[in-house]
Amino acid sequence: MKHPQSTGQTGPLQVDVKQLKDHPGAQEILSRDVPAPVGFSTVLVGIPEGSNLAVDLRIESVHEGVLMTGTASAEVVGECGRCLDPISYPLTVDVMQLFSWADKAQGTDTGEDEENRAVGEDLMVDVEPVLRDLMVSALPFQPVCRDDCPGLCSECGFRMEEDPEHEHEQVDPRWAALQGLKNQLNDGDDEA
């Protein structure tokens, strides 16, 4: 028997697990491409809202709840933290998350706890926050276009890649040292 699809009520990342309740071993497959929800990003990089998020998950009924395992993949887009060039690369995260049955969950506010999520009262499981936590924490804190990106000149913003010799006129450090010595000698004179 098929459930009528209750469109509008549930998002593409919500799974009805009614049929898994009290049927340990039963499973559902959530394998689909969905538009990435908002908020899968940090300051410099992220998965653009609406871009393709491929989820491939198995949701299995176990005694304590439902165990979700599988992967989620998307294209990360952003800019290099050193030279500000656009970057993009594919990201896949492994998913393993237990949702406890509401009547077996400990405490009341388990929904906020990453380690201890619960199946909703309506026997729905919301996959989105799980994927958001996993994918956002897999984003680099300081993304670079490549490991040895030379970045920009700290003085003028020149793209160092175009001329590694690029530099600004500076007081020669040896002259600076001599200048320091001279000052010391002068100080000595003053005290004599």
Residues that bind Zn ion (CB under 5 A): 80, 82-83, 85, 145, 149, 153, 155-156, 158
Looking at beta carbons only, is 114 or 155 nearer to Zn ion? 155
Q: How far is the CB of 155 from Zn ion (least distance, A)?
A: 4
Looking at beta carbons only, is 36 or 80 nearer to Zn ion? 80
Q: How far is the CB of 135 from Zn ion (least distance, A)?
A: 22
Q: How far is the CB of 43 from Zn ion (least distance, A)?
A: 16
Residue 184 to residue 103: CA distance in whole angstroms: 78
Looking at beta carbons only, is 162 or 190 nearer to Zn ion? 162
Residue 74 to residue 115: CA distance in whole angstroms: 23
Q: How far is the CB of 79 from Zn ion (least distance, A)?
A: 8
Residue 99 to residue 121: CA distance in whole angstroms: 12
Looking at beta carbons only, is 22 or 155 nearer to Zn ion? 155
Q: 1-33 burial, b for 16+ CB within 10 Å, e for fewer?
A: eeeeeeeeeeeebbbbbeebeeeeeebbebeee
